[in-house]
């Protein structure tokens, strides 16, 4: 018999599958247990509901159709302070490292890790590892305290320096052991999370009492599961300034084209958000949606019509878009950066040149002005805005609470507005492409009216 779709009682809730995270007690016998020092904090006055228990979870999917959902709902441990801690603060030696490219908010995360370790938990041995993972074995570490980091949230970049490459598992874990670190906070993107998985496995293999955690940073917002990465909103805000400038230039010319290239290696989130919030973009080109130039339904045909109608156009192109169209030599095909990422060719100047050639070929003699803007590092080399700053603080605090409670091999992240602990392996493999089948891409297309290039 068919279930009655108007009667919610006719459906049963799917089961829940908890994504467990590792705990030091699984590999370290007789792990000590102490009351959380926040009990004595003059600011928090914790009541019983203040502490989070290991049975507190949050769901990844909060919207689903009961008539079709049958697979279990993924749940994660809720982040936050635990009533018992598993490190004696007097013996903690915490290491903080930043890896990969810059992202607004890196310095805020470092600052808040230092201040909260110091103020909430009474940790006094906190170290900054310089220049990314290679800093564990090739540079002096710097001792940090709240006085040193007090104004770091006002600075862009990372005051610890960062780098790509330099991943040598043996040397890194050797360096961690040699320097006596027992808490390792890794701030970085997808590459850093993959590296953290390997370090975590090696620490477990060596049965060391070291907790390692990841705090995901990616200006491209290309890490999955979490709502968004810190710094992303700030980057979009700065990107918008470039889009508005391109619009002014284009509108003030005859047959004016404003072309803006924005970051986005594999994902077009920055381009998409800049397009949606500016409302002045005529065409948004992202890596997830191939495009072509010539013929029916192509970019040139669309631009021709738009210029005829409005007299100007604004194009936003993400750096990873159109890579399949740009001619490249055999050696360019094989080129990789220090972290093993394929080196992209620069889509901005290529597209600018193709557009100029097209106009000259098809509209010779008619006025045409193309202004190209590439804000590149300007969008990520700035301090975090207010929202991202608060987000960084909560991520840093979540990480410390989890580590002090003895959890390891996890990442702190926001899921549906709440904070969760997610296994680092899961984050390392979770991508976050723009879904060109969902409502947001449909929204872009309805705002721009651009072709779908199918
Ligand atoms: N698959 C991997 N295994 C081990 N280390 C990796 C891996 N991918 C990247 N790394 C290391 O992680 C660090 C940061 O990676 P990178 O890709 O440059 O930046 P991001 O973390 O921002 O994506 C680098 O030191 C790099 O060598
Ligand atoms: O020139 P760099 O420092 O290698 O960084 C450039 C790359 O970093 C990125 O900003 C991605 O970094 P994220 O890991 O922060 O997402 C890309 O958009 C860009 O290709
Ligand atoms: Mg990356």
Q: Check residue 60 and give its pLDDT.
A: 95
3-state secondary structure of 360: helix
| Minimum-distance ligand 1 atom for the alpha carbon of 218 | 22
From 98, 193, 195, the mutation candidate for ligand 1 (largest count of ligand atoms within 8 A of CB) is: 195
Pick the CATH number of 232-382 from 3.30.499.10, 3.30.70.260, 3.40.50.460, 3.40.50.720: 3.40.50.460
Q: Is 101 annotated as a binding residue?
A: yes
Set 2, 119, 220, 374: catalytic member: 220
ipTM: 0.98
Q: Check residue 3 and give its pLDDT.
A: 46
Q: Does 220 qualify as catalytic in the annotation? A: yes
Q: Check residue 70 and give its pLDDT.
A: 77
Q: Check residue 6 and give its pLDDT.
A: 63
Would you say the C-alpha torsion 434, 440, 443, 444 has a positive or negative sign?
negative
User: Residue of the nearest CA to atom 20 in ligand 2?
Assistant: 265
Span(s) in the chain for CATH 3.40.50.450: 16-229+386-429
Ligand at minimal distance from the CA of 193 is 1
Give, to the nearest 10 degrees, the angle between helix 232-251 and helix 386-404: 160
Nearest CA to 355 out of 237, 225, 289, 260 is that of: 260
Q: Mind listing the pLDDT tens digit of every residue in the chain (454 residues)?
A: 444 556 666 788 889 999 999 999 999 999 999 999 999 988 888 888 899 999 999 999 998 888 887 789 999 999 999 999 999 999 999 999 999 999 999 999 999 999 999 999 999 999 999 999 999 999 899 999 999 999 999 999 999 999 999 999 999 999 999 999 999 999 999 999 999 999 999 999 999 999 999 999 999 999 999 999 999 999 999 999 999 999 999 999 999 999 999 999 999 999 999 999 999 999 999 999 999 999 999 999 999 999 999 999 999 999 999 999 999 998 888 898 887 888 999 999 999 999 999 999 999 899 999 999 999 999 999 999 999 999 999 999 999 999 999 999 999 999 999 999 999 999 999 999 999 999 999 999 999 999 999 8
From 167, 264, 265, the mutation candidate for ligand 1 (largest count of ligand atoms within 8 A of CB) is: 167
Ligand 3 midpoint to CA 234 (Å): 18
User: Residue of the nearest CA to atom 6 in ligand 2?
Assistant: 101
Query: CA–CA distance from 289 to each of 167, 236, 438 (Å)?
Result: 33, 20, 13
Query: Does residue 109 contact residue 187 with C-beta atoms inside 8 Å?
Result: yes
Q: Is 218 annotated as a binding residue?
A: yes
Q: Is 1 annotated as a binding residue?
A: no
Q: Is 175 annotated as a binding residue?
A: no
Residues with Cβ within 5 Å of ion ligand 3? 189-191
| Minimum-distance ligand 1 atom for the alpha carbon of 99 | 14
Token pair belonging to 316: 């936003």
DSSP E strand stretches across 69-133 = 73-78, 84-85, 93-98, 125-129
> Containing H/E element for 371?
strand 369-373
Residues with CB under 6 A from ligand 2: 100-101, 103, 189, 217-220, 222, 263-265, 319, 337
- β-bridge mates for residue 17, sequence order: 74
Length of the chain counted residue by residue: 454
User: Residue of the nearest CA to atom 6 in ligand 1?
Assistant: 195
Ligand 2 midpoint to CA 161 (Å): 15
Q: How far apart are CA 34 and CA 6, in angstroms?
A: 52
* pTM, two decimal places: 0.95
Q: Check residue 47 and give its pLDDT.
A: 85
Task: Give helix then strand counts, H and E, for the chain.
Answer: 13, 18
Q: How far apart are CA 120 and CA 113, in angstroms?
A: 10
The architecture that CATH gives domain 16-229+386-429 is 3-Layer(aba) Sandwich (3.40)
Span(s) in the chain for CATH 3.40.50.460: 232-382
Residues with CB under 6 A from ligand 1: 99-101, 132-133, 164-167, 188-192, 194-195, 198, 339
């Amino acid at each position: 018999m068919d279930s009655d779709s108007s009667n919610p009682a006719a459906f049963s809730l799917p089961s829940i599958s908890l994504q467990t995270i590792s705990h030091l007690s699984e590999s370290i016998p007789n792990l000590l247990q102490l009351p959380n020092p926040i009990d004595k904090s003059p600011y928090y006055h914790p009541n019983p509901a203040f502490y989070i228990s290991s049975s507190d979870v949050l769901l990844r999917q909060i919207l689903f159709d009961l008539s079709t959902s049958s697979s279990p709902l993924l749940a994660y441990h809720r982040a936050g302070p635990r009533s018992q801690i598993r490190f004696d603060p007097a013996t903690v030696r915490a290491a903080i490292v930043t890896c990969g490219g810059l992202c607004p908010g890196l310095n805020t995360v470092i600052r808040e890790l230092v201040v909260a370790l110091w103020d909430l938990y009474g940790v006094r041995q906190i170290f900054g590892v310089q220049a990314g993972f290679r800093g564990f074995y090739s540079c002096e570490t710097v001792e940090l305290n709240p006085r040193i980091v007090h104004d770091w949230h006002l600075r862009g970049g990372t005051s610890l320096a960062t780098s790509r490459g330099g991943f040598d598992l043996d040397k890194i874990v050797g360096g961690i052991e040699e320097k006596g670190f027992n808490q390792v906070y890794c701030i970085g993107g997808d590459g850093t999370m993959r590296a953290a998985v390997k370090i975590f496995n090696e620490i477990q293999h060596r049965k060391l009492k070291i907790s390692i955690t990841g705090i995901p940073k990616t200006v491209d917002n290309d890490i999955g599961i979490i709502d968004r990465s810190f710094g992303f909103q700030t980057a979009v805000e700065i990107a918008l300034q470039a889009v508005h400038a391109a619009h002014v230039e284009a509108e003030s010319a005859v047959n004016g084209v404003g072309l803006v290239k924005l970051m986005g290696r594999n994902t077009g989130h920055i381009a998409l958000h800049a397009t949606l919030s500016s409302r002045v973009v005529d065409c948004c080109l992202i890596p997830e949606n191939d495009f072509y130039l010539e013929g029916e339904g192509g970019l040139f045909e669309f631009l021709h019509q738009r210029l005829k109608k409005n007299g100007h156009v604004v194009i936003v192109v993400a750096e990873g878009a159109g890579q399949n169209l740009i001619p490249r030599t055999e050696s360019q095909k094989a080129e990789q950066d220090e972290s093993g990422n394929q080196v992209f060719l620069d889509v901005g100047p290529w597209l600018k040149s193709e557009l100029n050639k097209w106009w000259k070929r098809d509209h010779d003699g008619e006025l045409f002005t193309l202004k190209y803007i590439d804000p590149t590092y300007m969008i990520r080399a700035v301090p975090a805005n207010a929202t991202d700053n608060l987000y960084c603080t909560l991520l840093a605090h979540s990480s410390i609470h989890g580590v002090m409670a003895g959890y390891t091999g996890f990442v702190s992240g926001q899921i549906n507005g709440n904070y969760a602990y997610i296994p680092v392996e899961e984050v390392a493999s979770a991508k976050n492409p723009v879904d060109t089948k969902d409502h947001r891409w449909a929204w872009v297309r309805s705002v721009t009216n651009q072709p779908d290039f199918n």
